[in-house]
Amino acid sequence: MHCFPPEYDARSRNILDEALRGLFAYKSWRAFDPGPGCPVEARYAALPALSKQMIRDHFPEGFVPPGNDIQQGLASGEIEFVQTSGTSDVSVTNIWNQKWWDESERLSWRLNAHAARLATGTHNEAILANPINVGFISNDVDLPMKKRRLARFLYLNEKTDPALWTPELIERMTAELEEFRPAVLEANPSLLAKLCRCIAGRKKPVFQPGLIVFTFEYPSVLHYRQIRRVFDAPLASSYGSTETGYVFMQCEAGKFHQNSESCRVDFQPLKPEHGGPWIGRILVTPLHNPWYRILRFDVGDLVRLDESGACPCGRNSGLILSAIEGRMATATLTTEGRMVTLRELDDIIGNLSNVDEYRLVQSGADAYELCVVGRREDRKTLAGEASFLLKRLYGNGAAITVHHREAISPENTGKYRLARTDFPLRVEDYLRNDG
C-alpha cells in the first residue's frame, strides 16, 4: 500500500482542474475527463499522455497558468527558455524556473541518507558530465579551473567527446577533485567509468567524495564495476527530466523512491508477455512548478515496481521501484517479438569479462550488431561468448554480429545509448489495455 503526503491528491486535483479549465494545450483533453465528482486517480487515468510533440505544438502559452506573464518572467530572469537533448525524440524547448528546480532537488535529497546528510544547498559539488548537457564547451583549448566554476559547482570536463581527453586532462581532473574536495560528485556514469579506467592502475590515491550521484544516463553493470575499482564512496542514481524535475531518488538500500512532495507519478503496466504488471512506463506531473503546467508527461522510460512495496530504509511515501529498466528508446525485441529492456540486456552483457563499453543495435527482426570496446586479446573467443549469451536472450535464430572498436563516441545529445533498434517501437503497442 503506497502512502502519499496529505496534500498529494488535493494538489493533483487542483492542477488538473486548472489545466482542463484554462489552458489551451489541454483543451482537447476535456472530453476524456469523467468529471470532478470522480476520484482523482480515475480522472488522471482517463487522460492521454503528454508527448514532446504536444509540447512543441502548444509552447509556450499553452502551458502557462493564468495570471503569469511570459514576457515579464523572461525580462525579470525568473524564467528562461531551455532546450533539451533527449535520446528518445528530437529536442524540445521548455520553460525553466530555477527556484522550482532547486526545490525539487532539495526534496529529493531527503530520500537518500547520504544526500540528506551531505547536501546542504551550500555544499561543494563537482560535476563530471558532457558539456552538451551541462557546463562549458571547449574542445580545442583546455579551460582553467576558474572558467569551469559556477557558484558552488565545479565542472570537471569541457570536452564533448571523451576521445579528446589527454593524459594531462585526466591528471587535472583527479588533481581538482583533491583540491576542490566535493561533498558530492555528480557524474555521467559512462564518463566516470572512463575516468576510472584511465586511473585504476595508478598508485596514487583518489579523493573520495561523500556521495557519487549518477545522472543523465543509465548506469551499466560495466560502469559500476569500473567505478568500484577506484571509488568506495556510496553510489546513488538520481532520476528526472528537465520537464518534470527530480522524480525518483535511489536510497541507501538501493531502491528508488518517488519524490512525492514534488511530483505525481502515474504507472502504466506493460502486457504480461513484455514484463507486466511490474514493468511499465511512467507519466509525471510536477506539483509545484508555478510557470509550467505539465500533466502526465511521458518521460520515455520504463521502470519496475518493487513487488514488496516496502524498503529496508523505512521510507514509504509514493511509489517504490526496484529498478529503472531503461528508456523505451533503448528497448529491443527478441526474434519472437518480446520486449527486452536495457536492464535485461545489460545484465547479460555484464557476464562478459574485460569489456569496457558496448552498444547493441537491432537492425531487423532477427539481426543484432554488438560493438564492444575491451582489453581482451582473444577477440574470437569473446565474440563467441557474446553470441552465445545474446542468442540465449534473443532466440536461437538471432543473427549476431560482433565488432571490436577502439572507442564508442556519444550520440549528438552528449549521452551514450547502449542499445537501440533501427526501426520504431511504440510503447503504446506494448502497454496493457487497461493500463
Mean confidence (pLDDT) of the chain? 95
Q: Which amino acid is residue 362, in one-letter code? A: Q
Distance of CA 132 to CAs 55, 94, 191, 222, Å?
22, 16, 13, 23
Give 97-112 pLDDT, tens digit per residue: 999 999 999 999 999 9
- Can you read off the three cell numbers belonging to residue 211? 556521495
pLDDT in tens, 241-276: 999 999 999 999 999 999 999 999 999 999 999 999
H or E segment to which residue 45 belongs: helix 40-45
Q: What is the pLDDT of residues 396-422, one digit of tens each?
A: 999 999 999 999 999 988 999 999 999
pLDDT at 65 over 90: yes
Mean pLDDT within 360-367: 98
- pLDDT exceeds 80 at position 88: no
Please give the pLDDT value at position 2.
Answer: 72
Instruction: Report d(CA 96, CA 101) in Å as an integer.
Output: 8
Residue 1, pLDDT above cutoff 70 = no
Query: What torsion do the CA atoms of 82, 44, 323, 313 make, to the nearest 10 degrees?
Result: 100
Residues 112-122 pLDDT 10s? 999 999 999 99
Q: Which residue has the cell 543473427?
A: 399
Mean pLDDT, rounded, for 293-307? 97
How far is it, in rounded angstroms, from Cα 107 to Cα 105? 5
- Residue keyed to cell 543509465: 218
pLDDT at 90: 65
Which residues of 224-296 form beta strands (DSSP E)?
235-241, 245-250, 256-258, 263-269, 279-286
**Domains detected in the chain:** 8-329 (3.40.50.12780), 332-429 (3.30.300.30)
The full DSSP string for 198-212 is HHTT-SS-----SEE
Q: What is the pLDDT of residue 435?
A: 45
For the cut 60, the answer to whether the pLDDT of residue 340 exceeds it is: yes
Q: Is the dihedral of CA 364, 368, 370, 371 positive or negative?
A: negative
| CA 275/CA 115 separation, integer angstroms | 32
DSSP characters over 147-185: GGEETTEEE----SSGGG--HHHHHHHHHHHHHH--SEE
**419-434, pLDDT tens digit by residue?**
999 999 999 999 998 6
**What is the reported pLDDT for 130?**
96
Over the stretch 8-43, which tens digit does the pLDDT of each residue have? 999 999 999 999 999 999 999 999 999 999 999 999
pTM recorded for the entire structure = 0.95
Distance of alpha carbon 96 from alpha carbon 92, whole angstroms: 12
Residue 89 has pLDDT above 60, yes or no: no
Share of the chain above pLDDT 70, in %: 98
Q: Taking the CB of residue 66, how many other CB atoms lie within 10 A of it?
A: 8
Which one-letter amino acid corresponds to residue 230? V
Cell (9 digits) for 194: 572512463
136-189 pLDDT, tens digit per residue, is 999 999 999 999 999 999 999 999 999 999 999 999 999 999 999 999 999 999
pLDDT for the residue numbered 86: 57
